[in-house]
Structure 1
Amino acid sequence: MVATRSRQLKSVRAKSPTADAVSYPVGVPLGRTLSVFPLVRDVVDGPRNRRSVVRVISVSRDVVVWSCLLTSWIGFGTSCRADSDSRPSGSRPNVLVVLTDDQGWGDLSLHGNPNLQTPHIDSLARDGVQIKNFYVCAVCSPTRAEFLTGRYHTRSGVFSTSAGGERFDLSERTIGDAFQAAGYRTAAFGKWHSGMQAPYHPNARGFDEFYGFCSGHWGNYFSPMLELNGEIVKGDGFIVDDLTQHAIDFMERDRENPFFIYLPLNTPHSPMQVPDEDWQNFEGKEIVPDPRPENAKKEDVQHTRAALALCENIDDNVGQLLDALERLSLSENTIVVFFCDNGPNGSRFNGGLRGRKGAVHEGGLRSPCLIRYPSKIPAGQTVGGIAGAIDLFPTLADLCDVEVGATAGPLDGISLIDGLREPKSKPSERLIFTAWSGKFSVRSNRYRYHANGDLFDIVADPGETGSVAEDQPVATARLKKALEDWVKETKPRDRSHSEEQVFPVGHPDHPWTQLPARDAQATGQIRRSNRFPNSSYMTHWHSIEDAMTWDVDVLAGGRFDVEVFYACPESAVGTQLHLEWKQGETESATDSVVTESNPSGPIHLDKDRSKRAESDEKDWKKMPLGKIDLSKGRGRLSLTCPRIMGEDGETRGVEIRLMMLHRVPAE
């Protein structure tokens, strides 16, 4: 079956056309339903090869797929309608937004990449509209914030990709909030990366259903530990296939009310884990380098092979989504949007653009943006001008007659509805700003200006090979002032603010709270399994003086059941774990003893197709730690080991991945 699927897809690809101190609100609704997905199991009997049944079809143009959001604006917009609730909910279009992770502008056959074929994604351009100059942020969490809020991430408080810096302010209204309020069924499946605990959790930010993970990256892509509406579950098979199937299940579940599905897929972000059936087409494959010499010189060919295999896997899953919409007779009334969150995570083919992920040049910021909506948007058109992730919220609201509602401030994004309906219309003049890690640039319809004084004519020189600042003093001065004014107005934060972050616990409307080990402060010999905190665990617990401590803010006091997810050798059985709550003079504690070993080593490393930079992952075992009383307000939760069993050395003690707190209902 797999071989048959691969031959069919290969045949289709060969025919694919190419083209050019915080105040937390309580009582926040966390979603109207908490139904359990039928495909999630605590114990997985065996992953299904869902893509073995993919059918390649002629896709109707009724669906809007959004996949890579950026921080930018576009110049042909209108304001959102005030009479947004004028249509009955049943007549409104569905929305499917697909966002991919670390897939660059050049990672599509649509954009001339000779190394892969992406016929299903390409079909969105054929059957819909592509925005030629669409911009996102240099890295992932800022882009997500800008898509979700329609405002620059610098306004909403995002300054990092971990340690709480990925969270946008609670005063912000999300696209999920708006569509939920308008009667849509809302769901997010995939990588959230905008906060883990309520009220930052997706269930608290406008999404009825959430299945995936909230971290910035994940260490294992094969039947991994995930969460379903806050509760830990085990995934089913390769993660992107699993997330796609959950999106399809959500489409099928209720045909009476429109849906808004946000599908932030987590590939081709590293680790570069690829299913065998996708890897077989790229193992040992000759790779055509990027035409830009410095990109070609820096390319890690094995990493590129893995990234492109993951991009073709994404394309297969987009095909499944479009197939499902067709099968369910939903294509004509579904808006499908596809875009990416930043530039490529490697120096591979990117159309000669300068920079990659993390850069504020074109190569780090330019993203595909494909929008298909057959009944309202003409097919096969290209929209000029500039646009960005900030524009998707007002645009989708406008297309669906949904009221944006009261936001934390004026939206930076604009509705692109006029440009989508009349792609040949002249774009208006506007600017799109970006900031990351102390670097700043601004894009106009013609130029990109950098804070170091360089000015590039992107129309004539899209690769930013030569500054024209001296030749264009008027444009340079105008954009320099605009960028300086924007920086003063939005006040971008730096990563030093990580020290100020606390983690909310015990939201009154959310029974579960996750406290991952990565967010604890480690003392003594304990250290993270990797210097990149996302998806890491704490290891080297050798002394009774060692501790893990979380700085938390309890939103509503009460009694909580505590669980830890751990690994340890047989020799560590009998180790005692002690959790203590301190808040001034107030203290409470709970203890438990490790009664079962869990000698798990790293899992699924055989699926790594390129050397990983992230932490490995293990099969973690759940252990009850007892009950603890927490009082409202700020305090510290400290985990220690008063008794450590085992031999001295690397395997002594326990390794901790996650602590979970579950509110005990009041009697």
Structure 2
Amino acid sequence: MNCKLSCDKPPVAQMRVSSSFAQPLRGKAQSSRSFLVKACLVVAAIAFVSQDNKAVSDDVPKRPNVVVILADDQGWGDLSCNGNPNLSTPHIDSLARDGARVEHFYVCAVCSPTRAEFLTGRYHTRMGVYSTSTGGERFDAGEQTIAEVFRQSGYATAAYGKWHSGMQWPYHPNARGFDDYYGFCSGHWGNYFSPMLEHNGKIVKGEGFLVDDLTNHAIEFIDAHREESFFVYLPLNTPHSPMQVPDPFWDKFKDKDLVPDPAKENQKKNDVGHSRAALAMCENIDFNVGRLLSHLESSGLADDTIVVYFSDNGPNGARFNGGMRGRKGSTHEGGLRSPLLIRYPRKIRPGTRVTQVSAAIDLLPTLSELTGTSHDSRLPLDGQSIASLLVNPDSVPPKPLADRIVFSAWNGKVSARDQRYRMQFDGGLYDIENDPGERMDLREQKPEEARRLGDAMAKWIEQTEPRKSSDALDRPITMGHPQAVWDQLPARDAEPIGGMVRSNRYPNCTYMTNWTSPDDAIVWDADVLSDGEFEVVMYYACEPSSVGSVVRLEFGEQAIESVIQHANVSDLVGAADDRVVRQEGYVKDWRPMNLGTIRLAAGRAMLKLSASKVNGGEVAEMRLLMLKRLPSAEPSK
């Protein structure tokens, strides 16, 4: 079966190859037996096809490849190698067995700050990240990313999955060093089975269960670039809600009795269904990690590929987490500690354990040192390389590492962690080595430690100036970048005017509804970065009675109008595949409608979508505007 997508070529032309991977499973449409048979056929096909396709010979200089896998909302305790008795993750565990386990590795309390810190090697508080949507997830355009570092060293670069660091150029993945990108740029997504996605800016439709689909793309990219060094970033979207997972994984957990975490004595019964679904999603991740590792092995690339696995924050529910206090959104140990597993057979011995405190900011300098790539950072890094400890775990950490303090900030709270203690924003001091549940405050018993960490925290806050959404930063949505062909303007980045309302309070995957009057409008605070002519397409749903309504788009003195000519009646998508009731909103099957061509002049103004005529009581429900830059007219001769 051919898994290629009908979409534009990426900015750096690449040959897409057909693959023999099993079609990702549609939740309730396939049996467990069919699933397992197809999985076996996948491994067999990969092994057969790859027998003669060995990696570049040892005498050809080639830097090691890098594959970074990032799970979304998977806690430290959501792996069997970390003692969880409720699930089995043998493929992820194998990375610890065959490589290194970093024992005390820390990320941020929520998604987008962690991604910013991994991508740049700098604290997100320095870079303008203050929320997880509507522009607050973007880190400053002047930052250098890990993809840029590797691409400048000759690597082919790709990212597949949940970006969550900005949708429009210059914040889009293609603008930040990735040659190829497939996935979604917002935060949470509303449907995981063949959803609306993008490929290098262009809207496409996914194929099957999203995690399976993203893994297929990573494997295809590896095949297409096997003769050169590659850097693949695979930020998966699970176990973040909505809690959707194919039947074979859910069937194992839907009635399973779970062993509770000792620190979660207040766990409610209604958390159990969510936990079961999350664990099923984690086992699906493990299945896909196994597919990826098998492909590297059968392709002869395993020994020369660094594989990194970690998560972006603590668990998104009250489930097993090693007795630590806190979960996603918390600056306590359980909200910030993540697994970090790194396998590199050429240099890292099997079973290596690194006990030094480290963080997501360390991955850029660490991977740069392990691969021998140089990076001339435009801005000073906060991260420090732990490569020497990975290669020689018996060595004594250099003093900057041994004495370091790792900081985290979120929602007005700051936490500091050294090799033994954690200090919280309220001055509480905890001996994490002996009290991971942070139950005993030692500030009175350990005044010198409390003063030392308190002084360091105050200095860090002064230097990095953590920002909050309440700061009302002046950050318009960018569009019309001279290097961008496509611009997405989703409903989540807009504000409703009049009677218009957002479909859900969590904005990332929402749409606008209750569009009933010419006085209603959807507005984007837009900053057009260069002049141009743009074709505009609106993605919408509406009843037959709405046909004939006239939609109007304005920017400054420019305006276009278009008549809705086709109904698009769509039920809510996703409810049938949810394992537990979601808090976020559902999505619909959106229809594209060409609104025409508009000329936009560089500058900042409100882009306004309204209606000059309303039929049937409601114009439409609006999900997204897509703008395509048209080629400049050639001068006459």
TM-score by length of 1: 0.87
Deviations 1:83-104 (A, max 9, x none): xxxx999510000000000000
Deviations 1:417-445 (A, max 9, x none): 11001113334221100100001110000
The residue aligned with 2:93 is 122
Q: Which amino acid aligns with 2:309?
A: F
Residue 53 of structure 1, CA deviation: 2.2
Deviations 1:614-643 (A, max 9, x none): 110111001000000100111121000111
The residue aligned with 2:589 is 619
Closer, same or farther in 2 for the Cα pair 1:453/1:539, shift >3 Å?
Answer: same
Residue 123 of structure 1, CA deviation: 0.4
Distance in 2, Cα, partners of 1:521 & 1:94: 43
Distance in 2, Cα, partners of 1:348 & 1:252: 38
Report 1 or 2 for greater relative contact order, CA contacts < 8 Å, sequence distance ≥ 6: 1
> Is 2:604 aligned against 1:631?
no
Distance in 1, Cα, partners of 2:394 & 2:503: 53
Match of 1:461 among 425, 435, 451: 435
Q: Which amino acid aligns with 2:39?
A: V
Task: Indicate conservation of the 8 Å contact 2:122/2:361, yes or no.
Answer: yes
> Is 2:560 aligned against 1:590?
yes
Closer, same or farther in 2 for the Cα pair 1:458/1:557, shift >3 Å?
Answer: same
Q: Which amino acid aligns with 2:436?
A: P
Deviations 1:471-518 (A, max 9, x none): 000000000000000001100001124552211111111110000011
Closer, same or farther in 2 for the Cα pair 1:420/1:274, shift >3 Å?
Answer: same
The residue aligned with 2:426 is 452
Task: Indicate conservation of the 8 Å contact 1:299/1:347, yes or no.
Answer: no
Match of 1:656 among 593, 614, 622: 622
Give the SS at the match of 2:189. Answer: coil
Closer, same or farther in 2 for the Cα pair 1:291/1:299, shift >3 Å?
Answer: farther
Distance in 1, Cα, partners of 2:11 & 2:176: 9
Residue 294 of structure 1, CA deviation: 3.6
Give the SS at the match of 2:219. Answer: helix
The residue aligned with 1:324 is 295
Distance in 2, Cα, partners of 1:439 & 1:256: 47
The residue aligned with 1:204 is 175
Distance in 2, Cα, partners of 1:455 & 1:191: 35
Which shifted more, 155-164 or 143-152?
A: 155-164
Distance in 1, Cα, partners of 2:262 & 2:269: 12
> Is 2:521 aligned against 1:547?
yes
The residue aligned with 1:352 is 323
Residue 644 of structure 1, CA deviation: 1.2
Give the SS at the match of 1:385. Answer: coil
Task: Indicate conservation of the 8 Å contact 2:537/2:592, yes or no.
Answer: yes
Task: Indicate conservation of the 8 Å contact 2:67/2:231, yes or no.
Answer: yes
Task: Indicate conservation of the 8 Å contact 1:128/1:379, yes or no.
Answer: yes
Match of 2:510 among 521, 532, 536: 536
> Is 2:267 aligned against 1:296?
yes
Match of 1:187 among 143, 154, 158: 158
Q: Which runs of 5+ in 2 are unaligned?
A: 1-9, 45-57
Task: Indicate conservation of the 8 Å contact 2:109/2:410, yes or no.
Answer: yes
Match of 2:376 among 399, 405, 413: 405
Deviations 1:329-361 (A, max 9, x none): 100000000000000000111111100000000
Residue 163 of structure 1, CA deviation: 1.2
Closer, same or farther in 2 for the Cα pair 1:211/1:163, shift >3 Å?
Answer: same
Distance in 2, Cα, partners of 1:422 & 1:50: 42
Closer, same or farther in 2 for the Cα pair 1:663/1:36, shift >3 Å?
Answer: farther
> Is 2:406 aligned against 1:435?
no
> Is 2:580 aligned against 1:610?
yes
Task: Indicate conservation of the 8 Å contact 1:31/1:206, yes or no.
Answer: no
Match of 1:264 among 215, 222, 235: 235
Closer, same or farther in 2 for the Cα pair 1:635/1:89, shift >3 Å?
Answer: farther
Task: Indicate conservation of the 8 Å contact 1:98/1:262, yes or no.
Answer: yes
Closer, same or farther in 2 for the Cα pair 1:50/1:576, shift >3 Å?
Answer: farther
Closer, same or farther in 2 for the Cα pair 1:299/1:367, shift >3 Å?
Answer: farther
Task: Indicate conservation of the 8 Å contact 1:90/1:256, yes or no.
Answer: no
**Percent identity over paired residues:** 56
Which shifted more, 206-215 or 298-307?
A: 298-307
Which shifted more, 352-361 or 457-466?
A: 457-466
> Is 2:83 aligned against 1:112?
yes
Task: Indicate conservation of the 8 Å contact 1:570/1:597, yes or no.
Answer: yes
Distance in 2, Cα, partners of 1:45 & 1:348: 26
The residue aligned with 1:148 is 119
Which shifted more, 550-559 or 228-237?
A: 550-559
Distance in 2, Cα, partners of 1:113 & 1:545: 55
> Is 2:532 aligned against 1:558?
yes
Closer, same or farther in 2 for the Cα pair 1:475/1:231, shift >3 Å?
Answer: same
Match of 1:521 among 492, 495, 520: 495
Once the two structures are superposed, the pairs formed by residues 153-172 of structure 1 within 5 Å of their partners are: 153-172=124-143
Closer, same or farther in 2 for the Cα pair 1:534/1:88, shift >3 Å?
Answer: farther
Give the SS at the match of 1:115. Answer: coil
Residue 288 of structure 1, CA deviation: 1.1
How many residues are matched?
598
Task: Indicate conservation of the 8 Å contact 1:90/1:257, yes or no.
Answer: no
Distance in 2, Cα, partners of 1:461 & 1:390: 25
The residue aligned with 2:552 is 578
Q: Which amino acid aligns with 1:266?
A: N
Distance in 1, Cα, partners of 2:83 & 2:424: 28
Task: Indicate conservation of the 8 Å contact 2:296/2:302, yes or no.
Answer: yes
TM-score by length of 2: 0.91
Distance in 1, Cα, partners of 2:412 & 2:109: 12
Residue 147 of structure 1, CA deviation: 0.2
Task: Indicate conservation of the 8 Å contact 2:16/2:224, yes or no.
Answer: no
Residue 604 of structure 1, CA deviation: 2.8
Closer, same or farther in 2 for the Cα pair 1:50/1:198, shift >3 Å?
Answer: farther
Distance in 1, Cα, partners of 2:363 & 2:25: 40
Task: Indicate conservation of the 8 Å contact 2:405/2:416, yes or no.
Answer: yes
Give the SS at the match of 1:281. Answer: helix
The residue aligned with 2:192 is 221
Closer, same or farther in 2 for the Cα pair 1:625/1:497, shift >3 Å?
Answer: farther
Task: Indicate conservation of the 8 Å contact 2:196/2:204, yes or no.
Answer: yes
Task: Indicate conservation of the 8 Å contact 1:89/1:257, yes or no.
Answer: no
Distance in 1, Cα, partners of 2:14 & 2:605: 30
Match of 1:644 among 597, 604, 614: 614
Which shifted more, 474-483 or 44-53?
A: 44-53
The residue aligned with 1:665 is 631
Closer, same or farther in 2 for the Cα pair 1:610/1:45, shift >3 Å?
Answer: closer
Deviations 1:174-210 (A, max 9, x none): 0000000100000000000000001100000000000
Distance in 2, Cα, partners of 1:225 & 1:444: 43
Which shifted more, 545-554 or 421-430?
A: 421-430
Deviations 1:125-166 (A, max 9, x none): 000000000000000100000000000001111111011010
Residue 406 of structure 1, CA deviation: 2.9
Distance in 2, Cα, partners of 1:372 & 1:248: 18
Distance in 2, Cα, partners of 1:255 & 1:233: 26
Q: Which amino acid aligns with 1:340?
A: S
The residue aligned with 1:53 is 39
Deviations 1:294-337 (A, max 9, x none): 45357600000100000000000000000110111100000000
